Structure formats: structure tokens, C-alpha cells
Amino acid sequence: MRAHSLEQWYVPQVFATLPLLLQAALVLFFAGLIDFLIQLAPSVAIPVAVAVGLTVIFLLITTVSSSLHCISGSLRQSLSNSRVPSQCPYKLTQSLTFRRLITLSRPVFSTIHELFIYLLYIFVAKLSEASSRFLNGPTRNAQDTWKHRFFSHRAYLFWASPHWIEFDRTWLILRNEHLDITRKRVDWTKPSQTPLMDPIYDSIRALSMAVKDNEYHENVIFAAYHCFQDVSLSAKDEGEYPNDHLQACYRDLVLTWNSPIANIASIVVNPSVGLLHDIHTVLFLRLPGIFYKAINPSHIFGKRMLELHTRILGELFGLEPRTLTEEIQSGPTGFFHWYTINMTSLHSDPEMKDAFCEQFFMIFDSFIKTVISHSDTLDVLNTFHTNSDLGDFISLVAYLTWRTTQKSAEQKNADDRSLSLLVSILSLLQTTLTHFLDRKPSSTSDYFFCCISLYLKRVWQERPAIAQRNDLDSPHFTKLGMLLKDFQYNVLPRHEHRLDQPDFFRLYGKFISKRSLPQSFFRDGRDFAKWYTASIQDDIFLTEVKDTFVDSVDKDQIIVGDIDWTPECSFFPSRRQRAEIHAA
């Protein structure tokens, strides 16, 4: 009842006019004061008039600035990376009255708006284009700026908002539109955004500020992280934004936008919403206030960071090849630098490190099988499978090869699932390349030859930490050594002999050179057989001992080949002893 009576008797309007009456009374008081001083003492009236004039000018500026400031953000240059405009904070009662006055007539407002926009276009866009041509600098297309202007019919709907809250909502949409147009290619001739859309840009900005200001309050950080997940996933599930909108939203929010993880989102054509969500979550975890928690493997955010990196890796290499954009960088993205650091930082949690290693080898297995399923590798030449990151991917496979081998040596009773999976992958590659040797050379066989050549080189370069060990009793390690030796001596040399090197280096020269080919690299003591002889000969040695030991057990000596074992040696020699014997 009371609310209805207040509305019927226009009480809100009466209260809204009170500040205007006070402002008018103040101006009239100043005018009367100046008139009085002019009659009394003109020398005193002049400085007072200057002070009063400045006050009135400030009052006029704050009255019209909130309405006219929107015009400055009505011109948008696509892909210019210009700063997102901020709203004028002066929201006085007289400012709202002025905005209502200029929107009383829609035709008049549209005419004034178009006039201001055109003048701004002439003095800003046209002059900037002319000066760039005169100075031989980067030219900006002024016509493109005019095409992406804020049209008058939409401007009227925004300016005619009856309350400041609705006007603020229109500003959120303006900021989102400005971000999209200036950060990515978008066609705004088609209606795509409406006032019903959530302000993703400002929502994420608020969450990032909450994280920065509450570094030591984990409850706030956890709440901000979960809010971020809800905002990002809701935009994805409701389909309100195109798949690349989130990519543009984070450019101004995260200081590490130009980081390797963000470059991946920029060079892949039509990245999936899930991939973008994972990438943006990584960027969120790199914000100041949460970054040092995200790189700590003992913290839950550190484990989450590595999980996200692994999921991104699976999206890029474990699934169908992702097509690259035309404007790609020639060098690697650097993604594997951070991924390797995150993997090695898990030394305090061996079980989790084993789980991530196994997951990585599963991605590698899927990568190999995906390429095999393609009839022609030309299908993947313009994809992430042949990006410069391939070399880093293979290097990480080599590093984890030795890491799993070392684990096999230190934990003799452990289940070597990672090493077993790696051995099965290499066996598949061996079979595939051997199969290709009996057929006409193809781009697929060349691609696998390139991958295996890189792998053998990286394995050899990573070998010093493990190759000196003589207590590697895992059968998977023995099988691994036999496979590496077979690749070096049998499979790869045969393929290299029939390789069309000019065409091969034209396609894969960015991550392999002539010096990295097997016949050029494996010389001057670089020989897998030298390091794996003891391991490979173990099976032969044990078989010979087993066959002869039964017949010789009652004799004074046990002789196997040229080796004489005395009765005191009733046990088999250690692996180190066998290695010394075979080396001799």
C-alpha cells in the first residue's frame, strides 16, 4: 500500500528533483555573489568570478560527460588491441536528467549521434590512416573502423535506459563488444549479442581482482576459482558465445596471456570449447595471488595445473590432428617447457608422478595410432602434429623413457606399466616401419621415420643418468634395448637409404637436420648396442647356464663357453659381473 501510494503521488520524482533544486540554488547564489561584488569592489569580483566559473564548468562537465563519453567508444578498429573503454563514474542526478533530455526525440538523438560519430571518424580514424601512410608505418583501414561503429539505432536503446543500473548493463555489453571486435575477427553486421548475455569480461575481471587481493586467504581463492569455473562452463553450455569468445575475454585479464599455453589457443583453428576452457583455467591459475600455489606440486592447485596440462596435451596430440591457422609462428610454442617442469616437480609424490607418466604414454600411444589411421600424412602436415612442438613432444617421450627405466631399476617389484606401454608402442612403430619397407615410400613412412630418428637422438642424449647402471633387471628394459638396437641397425638405415631427402627436409626440416639422421648421428661411439649388450645378452647367457648347469652340477667346475665358475660360485653372477665379463 505504501509503495503504491508513493508511486501514485510521484514521491520518487520529487526526491529526484531536490538535488537539481540545490544545484540551481547554488548557481544562483554564485551569480548573485558575483553581481554584488561587481557593484561593491570589481577588483575582488574578478578572482571570485574565476573560481565560480571553474566550479560551474566542472559542474557542467560532470553533467554531460556520462552521456557524451559513450560516443568515444563507438568507433572500434578490428584487431587493433585497443584498450577497453571504461565507463564515466559521474552519475549525478543532473547527469541522468541530461541523458533523458537528449533521448526525448529518437530522430534528433540519432542525427546528433551520427554527426558526432562522423566527426570522430574524420578526425581520428581518417587522420590516423593518412599519417600512417605518410610515415610509411602500419596502415589502419579507416573504412573497417566505420563498418564496426556503434550504430545509432542501438545507441538510442542504450542511452534511453531510465535508470543507472540499466545503463550500467549496456556498458557491460559495450565492453564485451569492444573486446571482441578489437581482439578477434568478428562480423558485427549480423546481430549476435543482446542485452541478455552475461558480462563474461567484467565477471572474470572481478574474480581476478579478488584473487590478487586475497593471496593469503585460501577460502576466498577457492571460492573465486569455483566461480570462475561456473562462469566459464555456463558460457560454454548455454552456447551464448562463439567458441573463440573466451579466448578474447582473457587477453586483458591475465598478465601471462602471451605465454605458451595461450599461444596454442591462437594457432589452432576452431579450438574446441573444452580445450579453450582448460587453457583459460591454466591462465587463471597463473594470476598473481594463486600462481605460487599452482606451481607447488604439494598443493591441490599444483596437481590441478598438471592435470590441465595433460588434458591439453591429450587434446592436441591424442585426438584427431588440429588444423593450424595460416598466421602461425615458425617456432615452438614453449608449452612443453612448463609441462616438463611440472612433471619433474612431482618428485615428492612418486605415485602421482607414475600416474601422470602412464597417462602421457597413453597419449603417445594414441598419437601414433591416430597417425597410422591416416592414409596419407599430407592430411596432418598443416596440423599441430607437425608443428615445431613435435620435437619437444618427442624429447619429453625420451626423458620419460629414462625416468620409467630408472623407476624400474629402483623398484624391482613394481608394476612397470608405463615402460610396458612404451615398449608396446615402439613395437608397433617397428612393425609399421618394417611393413612400409616392403612397400613404396610414402609421406606416412617418412613421418614415422622422422619421429623415430628424433626419438633415438633424444634417448641417446638423455642416456647418461641411466645407461651406467647395471642393475636393471626389468624384462621390459631388455626389450626396450633390443628395440632401440633394431631401430638403429636394421629399420632406420634401410628407410634412410631410400629416402627422398630434398622432399623430406622440405616437409620436416624445421625439427630435424641431416646431422640428426641415424647414419650421421650414430657414429664416433654412439651405439645402442654398446650400452645394451649386457642386457640383451643376459637372456642368452642365462639360457646357456640353465642348459648346462643341470649336467654339470655334480662336477668340480661349471664351464659355460670360455667362462670358468668355481664351486664356490654356487650362485649366478650379478649383472655387474656379467657386464664386465661380456665387456672383456
The Cα 495–Cα 436 span in angstroms is 9
Tell which residue, 118, 100, 31, has the closest CA to residue 63.
100
Are 252 and 202 within 8 A, CB to CB? no
Residues in Cβ contact with 320 at an 8 Å cutoff, skipping those fewer than 6 apart: 370
521 and 552: one domain? no
Among 526, 554, 574, where does a domain finish? 526
Determine the pLDDT at residue 530: 65
Are 159 and 67 within 8 A, CB to CB? yes
The Cα 531–Cα 522 span in angstroms is 13
The total of structural domains in the chain comes to 4
The Cα 142–Cα 126 span in angstroms is 6
Q: How far is CA 7 from CA 17, 150, 549, in A?
A: 15, 36, 108
User: Across the chain, what does the average pLDDT equal?
Assistant: 73
110 and 251: one domain? no
Q: Given the DSSP bridges, would you call strands 558-560 and 563-565 parallel, antiparallel or unpaired?
A: antiparallel
Residue 131 belongs to a domain: yes
Are 328 and 276 within 8 A, CB to CB? no
485 and 423: one domain? yes
- pLDDT-derived band at 13 (thresholds 50, 70, 90) equals confident
Determine the pLDDT at residue 42: 83
308 and 422: one domain? no
335 and 316: one domain? no
- More confidently predicted of 575 and 476: 476
The Cα 348–Cα 297 span in angstroms is 8
Q: How far is CA 129 from CA 80, 121, 132, in A?
A: 13, 11, 5
20 and 123: one domain? yes
The Cα 205–Cα 62 span in angstroms is 27
On the question of pLDDT at 292 being above 60, the answer is yes
The Cα 461–Cα 395 span in angstroms is 10
From 185-199, 286-300, 319-333, the region with the lowest mean pLDDT: 185-199
What residues does 255 pair with on adjacent strands? none
- pLDDT-derived band at 247 (thresholds 50, 70, 90) equals low
267 and 214: one domain? yes
Residues in Cβ contact with 232 at an 8 Å cutoff, skipping those fewer than 6 apart: 246, 277, 280, 281
Residues in Cβ contact with 234 at an 8 Å cutoff, skipping those fewer than 6 apart: 198
The Cα 568–Cα 557 span in angstroms is 10
pLDDT tens across 68-98, in order? 877 776 766 665 666 777 788 888 888 888 8
251 and 350: one domain? no
Q: ∠ CA 260-261-266 to the nearest 5 degrees?
A: 90
- pLDDT-derived band at 289 (thresholds 50, 70, 90) equals confident
The Cα 34–Cα 28 span in angstroms is 10
Grouping H, G, I as helix, E, B as strand and the rest as coil, residue 73 is coil
Residue 120 belongs to a domain: yes
What backbone torsions phi and psi does residue 563 show, to the nearest 5 degrees? -100, 130
549 and 424: one domain? no
pLDDT tens across 499-554, in order? 888 888 887 877 788 888 888 888 777 777 665 554 444 444 444 444 443 344 33
374 and 461: one domain? yes
Determine the pLDDT at residue 558: 38
The Cα 543–Cα 296 span in angstroms is 49
Long-range contacts at 431-434 (CB < 8 A, ≥ 24 apart): 432/372, 433/491, 433/492, 433/495, 434/491
pLDDT tens across 19-60, in order? 888 888 988 999 999 988 888 888 888 899 999 999 899 988
Strand segments, DSSP code E, in 335-384 are none
- pLDDT-derived band at 378 (thresholds 50, 70, 90) equals low
Determine the pLDDT at residue 279: 82
271 and 406: one domain? no
* Backbone region of residue 200 per phi and psi (left: phi > 0; alpha: psi in -120 to 50; beta: other values): alpha
Q: Which domain holds residue 116?
A: 2-153
Per-residue burial over 226-240, b = 16 or more CB atoms within 10 Å of its CB, e = otherwise: eebeebbeebbeeeb
How many Cβ atoms from other residues are within 10 Å of residue 440's Cβ?
7
Determine the pLDDT at residue 54: 92
On the question of pLDDT at 396 being above 50, the answer is yes
On the question of pLDDT at 468 being above 60, the answer is no
Place of cell 623398484: 411
Residue 146 belongs to a domain: yes
Residue 181 belongs to a domain: no
Tell which residue, 479, 477, 453, 452, has the closest CA to residue 466.
477
Residue 177 belongs to a domain: no
Among 268, 288, 320, where does a domain finish? 320
Highest mean pLDDT among 188-197, 263-272, 570-579: 263-272
- Which ranges of 162-259 would DSSP assign to H, the alpha helix? 164-183, 200-213, 218-238, 245-249
Grid coordinates given for 330: 615458425
409 and 441: one domain? yes
Residue 187 belongs to a domain: no
Residue 407 belongs to a domain: yes
- pTM, 2 dp: 0.69
Among 153, 178, 208, where does a domain finish? 153
